[in-house]
Amino acid sequence: MSGIGKGIITASIGRLFKNRQYEVTAVKIDPYINIDAGTMNPTQHGEVFVLSDGTEVDLDLGNYERFLDINLTSAHNITTGKVYQAVIEKERKGNFLGETVQIIPHITNQIKEYIKEAAKKEIELGKTADICLIEIGGTVGDIESMPFLETIRQMHSELSPNDMAIVHVTLVPTDNMGEHKTKPSQHSVKTVRELGLQPDIIVCRSDWVIGTNTKKKISSFCDVPQHAIISAVTVSDIYHVPMEMEKEGLGNILCNLLNIKKRKPNTKWYRLVNKEYTDHITIAIMSKYGTEDVHISIKEALKHSARALSTKITIKWLDVENYDENELAKVDGILIPGGFGRRGIEGKLHAIQHARIHGKPFLGLCLGFQLAVIEFSRNVLNWNDATSEEIGPGTHVIALLPEQETVTTFGGTMRLGNCTISLKPETLVNRLYEKTTIVERHRHRYEVNPDYINKLEQAGLTFSGSCGNRMEVCELPNHPFFLATQFHPELTSRPTQPSPPFLGFANACKKHKPSHGNR
């Protein structure tokens, strides 16, 4: 079922193969009818992740990219909407003339075609994957996921036995006595078997280690060998999951099932995610969404920097509409994430002002960048009605550029995906990236209004990164660390390669920590 960590298990399985020098790619199947996650409310499904090609997808693809260190594309996210759209388009073009177009074989063939296309896609120039992971979202038995499971069944019988392994993830709850209950696993396996699929491996999610007796029971009821019943315990850090899976023997079991060389796993990942902390900082994230999943990539990017700096980062989530000024004084840095709409804007502006005046490290992302420009306009240039066109009437220092206004389809004005950005030499951002050209990802509509750029710069706000006439980075040269980006650096941060703005920000928080007496 959703929310038990299938995405992390999938990504971790990929990591086990990567650690054995296999190239891996991954496809996420979302059985909803939306074409993509772009128009979905983040409080329901969590963050909308943006791929380099601009596709807006489920946050699981972010986990795949982070765990597998690969860049995925729209081909790697299949939704019911996409499949039906493709089949209906083909039908209208006359591709199936004379036929009755049906779920089997037309929809299932389309799903197969999409899966194969994604599996064959280059993961790097000239390099394709050895193994493709396919994660089917939702719950077994749900009406939405039926065509996808049927497709897997067909593929399984079409391929040679060692070409596909089926992993079933189930929840193993405990009762009041702390005893594991195996019924939900028995029933879900029964449901998959009714659909013609037999799991090769069962991954059991639980807060407590699954003991031998429970494994034995699940094994006998579900016809899966006991060594392939895997205990997947909740851990404090998702990056530890691959290690836990390795301890359970999952890597070698999978290699046997796929009949590929076991190869000794490389331990670099484990060393990286196990690095000890020798220091500690607290960072405030100002959010209005009330759920941490909306900002999952930011949380992960902070973790990547934390490991790199051996500094534990505690996040203090502050509700933008209801926080105490004292809380800002206590934290070591303030981060304003992206967002849409007007709610909570004043609270965010106030926090930026606090950071600017008190020399507190500040990192603004997307909306956070736009608000840094608005705060500076209002409180340094005294343009008291400075605002964004998105927020309401006033002096629009942030506005829709004329070339965007002509697009009318939903989401059409949004800038999405990769953009090449030039960085001004000898600025903070240039020192952080150690480059003058970078590629980062976008997800926004509004831009700094070109009419005000000169005045803002003359008053001391440096626009240190740009993409043509669009401003991408701003900073304050006389501040310990005041940096904001129109792009989303959190989307490209990886455990193996922490994002430079995050690393710089965390480092600055560490250096400028208020003395312990103030805490």
Q: Which H or E element spans position 270? A: helix 268-273
Cβ 390 to ligand GLN shortest distance, Å:
5
Which residues between 359 and 378 bind ligand GLN (CB under 6 A)? 366-367
Amino acid (1-letter code) at residue 466: S
Told to judge if 222 belongs to the known catalytic residues of this protein, a careful annotator would answer no
* Catalytic residue of the set 366, 419, 467, 474: 366
Q: Rounded distance, CA 41 to CA 442, Å?
A: 18
What span, in angstroms and rounded, lies between the C-alpha atoms of 220 and 205?
18
Q: For residues 3 and 341, which CB has a smaller minimum distance to ligand GLN in the complex?
A: 341
Structure-token pair, residue 250:
């999952």
Contact (Cβ atoms closer than 8 angstroms) between residue 390 and residue 366: no
| Other residues' Cβ atoms within 10 Å of the Cβ of residue 470 | 17
445 lies in the site for ligand GLN, by CB under 6 A: yes
23 vs 389 by CB, closer to ligand GLN = 389
| Cβ pair 139, 191 in contact under 8 A | no
Give the number of other CB atoms < 10 A from CB of residue 294. Answer: 24
Q: Report the distance separating Cα 256 and Cα 127, nearest Å.
A: 24
Give backbone dihedrals phi and psi of 460, rounded to 5 degrees, phi first.
Answer: 115, 0
Cβ nearer to ligand GLN, comparing 378 with 444:
444
Q: Find the shortest distance in angstroms from Cβ 119 to ligand GLN.
A: 31
Rounded least distance, CB 302 to ligand GLN, Å? 17
**Does 446 engage in binding with ligand GLN (CB under 6 A)?**
yes
The site map against ligand GLN for 189-208 (x = CB under 6 A) is --------------------
Closest CA to 463 of 440, 444, 486: 486
Closest to ligand GLN by CB, 38 or 359: 38
Respond yes or no on whether the N-terminal peptide bond of residue 105 is cis (omega within 30° of 0): yes
Mask for 373-412, x = binds ligand GLN (CB under 6 A): -----------------x----------------------
Between residue 333 and residue 352, which ones bind ligand GLN under the rule CB under 6 A?
338-340
Shortest distance, position 486 Cβ to ligand GLN, whole Å = 8
CB closer to ligand GLN, 91 vs 389: 389
| E-strand stretches of 404-456 | 415-423, 437-444, 447-448
Q: Return the residue nearest ligand GLN (CB atom).
A: 338
Catalytic site includes residue 419:
no
> Is 245 a residue that touches ligand GLN (CB under 6 A)?
no
Site membership for ligand GLN, residue 487 (CB under 6 A)? no
Phi-psi region of 54 (alpha: psi -120 to 50; beta: other; left: phi over 0): left
Considering the rule CB under 6 A, would residue 20 count as an interface residue with ligand GLN? no
Q: Please tell me the distance from the alpha carbon of residue 348 to that of residue 468, in angstroms, as a whole number.
A: 28
Considering CB under 6 A, how many residues would be counted as binding ligand GLN?
A: 10
CA atoms within 13 A on the CB side of 123: 19
488 is catalytic: yes
User: Rule CB under 6 A: is residue 479 a binding residue for ligand GLN?
Assistant: no
- 349 backbone dihedrals φ, ψ, rounded to 5°: -60, -40
Q: Which residues bind ligand GLN (CB under 6 A)?
A: 338-340, 366-367, 390, 443-446
Q: Where in the sequence numbering do the catalytic residues fall?
A: 366, 488, 490
